[in-house]
Amino acid sequence: MQSISCEVLIIGGGATGAGILFDLSQRGLKVVLVEQNDLGTGTSGRYHGLLHSGARYVVRDPASAKECIDENLILRRIAPHVIEDTGGWFAAFPQDDPNYVPLWLQGCAQAGIKVEPLTPTQALREEPHLNPQVRELYRVPDGACDSWELLHSLVQGAAALGGRTLTYHQVVGIDVREGRVKGAYLLNRHTGEELQVEAQVIVNAAGPWAGEVGKLAGLKIGMSLSKGIMIAMNTRWTNVIINRLDKPGDGDILVPVGTVAVIGTTSVTVDHPDDRSITPKEVSEMLDAGEVMIPDFRMGRALRAWAGVRPLYDPGGAVSTQTHKEAHDEHVAEADDEGRFITRTFTSLDHADQGVEGMLTIVGGKLTTYRQMAEKISDQVCRMFKRENPCRTAETTLPTPEWLHRGKKHHTLPRRLQALEHAATQKPLICECEIVTRTQLEHAIHEGGPGVSLDDLRRDLRVGMGPCQGGFCAYRTAGVLQELTHLSREQAVEALRDFVEERFRGNRPLLWGHQLRQALLDESIYRRSLGLTPNPALEGETKHG
C-alpha cells in the first residue's frame, strides 16, 4: 500500500473542506483534502446558487443572519469572479403575512443588513414577469454564486501553496491508536488501490456524511439531515433574486443562475445523506409556489430537479436514536416545518472529550459562510499545533482558474455569444443549449487529467445542462473524449450510458409537457439513432436501480 503523510487531513470536498484547505495552506500547514467523488458533488453543488444577504434568517435565526451578511461582504471582495451581483428583493404578495414585515425590518436593522424599499411600479418596470399583485418590496444585497467555480478557485489557490486535493478517494478507515488520530485509509475509486495517509489532525468536513465519517473513528455525531429540493426552470424569469417576505417556507426563493432560474427549497428530515428522492407532488407544490411570485411560472420548462441535504447539528442526536426522535418530535411540535427550527449557524466539535484526540468535526453552516467556518476551525487546528499564524483569507483575493473561465463568465447568453463571435479559433459548438465549444471541451478534458468523466465535464462546462439535457451533446462529448483520451470504445459507450442515466435521474421528476417531449426525443436518439442498449450488468432489473 502506498502511503503519504501530512499534518492535517481534511475529509470532504465541499465549500467548507476546500475553504479549510486554502486557509490552513495559507497558514503554512501541510494539508491534504480527500473527497469521495468530484469536488462539490454533495450539498455545496446541490444548492440554489444563492449568496445570502442573511435577510432570510433575521427573524428566527439572527446569529446566522449576522454571519451571512458579514461573509457576503467579504466574498464580494475576495471572489468577485464567482458572484453575479444580481441583488435580491424581498417581496410581499397577498398570500404573505403583513405582520411579518415590521419584524423583518427590525431584524435586518439589528443584523446590519442594508434594506432599501422600492415601489411595486418600479419593481414591475425592472422585472415585468413579477406578480403585479405584489404589495411591498425591499432591496437586499443577495447575489448569485457559482459554487463549483468557488471550489475550483479555493483548490487552485491551495495547490499553489502546497495544499493537495485527492478527488474520487473515499475514506474507508480512520486510524486511532491510544486515543489519538494517526491517519486514515483511502480507497482510490478509479483504480481500486488503497492509500494510507499519516496525519496528526483530521478535520471532518464531510457535511451530511459527517456522521458516517465519525463512525469510522468510533464516534457518534448528532446530526439532523434536512433535505431541500430545487428546480431549475429554463427561463431566467427575473434578473434579480426574489424572496417571499414571509417566514421561511417551501419554494420561497427564486434565483437567476446563468440562463436558468432556480426555485427552492423545502425542508424534510431524512435518515440518510444519500436520500435525494423527489416526488411529483413536491414538484407540483414547488410550481404552485413559483406561480405566487411569477404568474407565468408554469409556462416555462422545468429542466432539472435536485435535492441537497443540509448537515445540521443536533446534539440530541448524539445520545441515541430514541432521544433524537423525541427531541425531534418536540421541535416539530413548536415549529411549522421540519428542519427549519435548527439554527443555520455552524458548530465545531473537538472529539478529545469523547476520547479521540486530533479529530475535529464541523457541521451546520451555509455555503455563504464557508470562509468563516474555515477560519474558526483552522484557528482551532493551529492551536493544536501551537502555531499562531493569523487567518488571512478575508483579505486574500482568490485566483480565477483561467481555463474554466474562458468565455463562460456568468453563463449569460449575450456574453457567451459575444465570446463565440470574437473567438477566431473556436471549434464547433458541442452543446448548443449551453454554448460549449469543442475548444472549451478540449481544455477541460486536458485539465481534468486521466479518468475525467463526462459528469466532471458537465460540472466544469455546463455541457448537457440545458433544455435538451444531453440529447445531442452527450454523444458528441463522448466522441471527443474518446478521441483525446484514447478510451476504448466500450469505455466510451459506458461513459455515455452513465451520463445519460445521470441526466435522466435529475430530469425524471420533471417529465411532462415540453420536457417530456424532449425526454422522448432523447430516448429515441439514444436507442434508435445511436443504438445504445441497456447496461448488460443491470439486465433483468426493471425497477429503480
Question: Using CB under 8 A as the criterion, which residues of the chain lie in contact with another protein when the complex forms?
Answer: 279-280, 283-284, 287, 298, 302, 426-430, 432, 438, 472, 475-476, 478-480, 482-483, 489, 492-493, 496-497, 500-501, 503-504, 508-509, 511-513, 516-517, 519-535, 538-545
- Specify whether the CB–CB gap between 72 and 369 falls below 8 A: no
CB of 493 to another protein, least distance (A): 5
CB of 517 to another protein, least distance (A): 6
Give, to the nearest 10 degrees, the angle between helix 62-78 and helix 370-384. 90
CB of 451 to another protein, least distance (A): 19
Kindly report the number of other CB atoms within 10 A of residue 162's CB atom. 12
Nearer to another protein, 34 or 430 (CB): 430
Nearer to another protein, 386 or 486 (CB): 486
CB of 131 to another protein, least distance (A): 19
- Specify whether the CB–CB gap between 503 and 433 falls below 8 A: no
- Specify whether the CB–CB gap between 339 and 269 falls below 8 A: yes
Half-sphere exposure (Cβ direction) of 325: Cα atoms closer than 13 Å: 4
Nearer to another protein, 112 or 280 (CB): 280
Query: Exposed, middle or buried, 533 (CB in 10 Å: 0-12/13-18/19+)?
Result: exposed
Nearer to another protein, 42 or 290 (CB): 290
**Beta strands 31-34 and 88-92, pairing class:** unpaired
Nearer to another protein, 153 or 265 (CB): 265
Please state, in angstroms and rounded to a whole number, the distance separating the CA atoms of residues 437 and 440.
5
CB of 16 to another protein, least distance (A): 32
CB of 530 to another protein, least distance (A): 5
Q: Which of 382, 363, 339 is nearest to 204 (CA)?
A: 363
CB of 278 to another protein, least distance (A): 10
Q: Please name the residue ranges forming H helices in 267-319.
A: 280-293, 316-319
**Beta strands 136-140 and 116-118, pairing class:** antiparallel
- Specify whether the CB–CB gap between 140 and 162 falls below 8 A: no
Nearer to another protein, 123 or 465 (CB): 465
CB of 536 to another protein, least distance (A): 10
**Cα 295 to Cα 89, 230, 450, distances in angstroms:** 17, 18, 47
Nearer to another protein, 221 or 493 (CB): 493
Nearer to another protein, 90 or 475 (CB): 475
CB of 54 to another protein, least distance (A): 33
CB of 416 to another protein, least distance (A): 14
Q: What is the 3-state secondary structure (H, E, C) of 468-487?
A: CCCCCHHHHHHHHHHHHHCC
Nearer to another protein, 333 or 537 (CB): 537
Please state, in angstroms and rounded to a whole number, the distance separating the CA atoms of residues 171 and 174.
8
Nearer to another protein, 25 or 440 (CB): 440
Nearer to another protein, 172 or 484 (CB): 484
CB of 257 to another protein, least distance (A): 21
- Specify whether the CB–CB gap between 457 and 489 falls below 8 A: no
Grid cell, residue 177, equals 491508536
Angle of CA points 79, 81, 83, to nearest 5° = 80
How many angstroms separate the first and last alpha carbons of the chain?
Answer: 33
Grid cell, residue 404, equals 474554466
DSSP letter at 249? -
Query: Exposed, middle or buried, 409 (CB in 10 Å: 0-12/13-18/19+)?
Result: middle
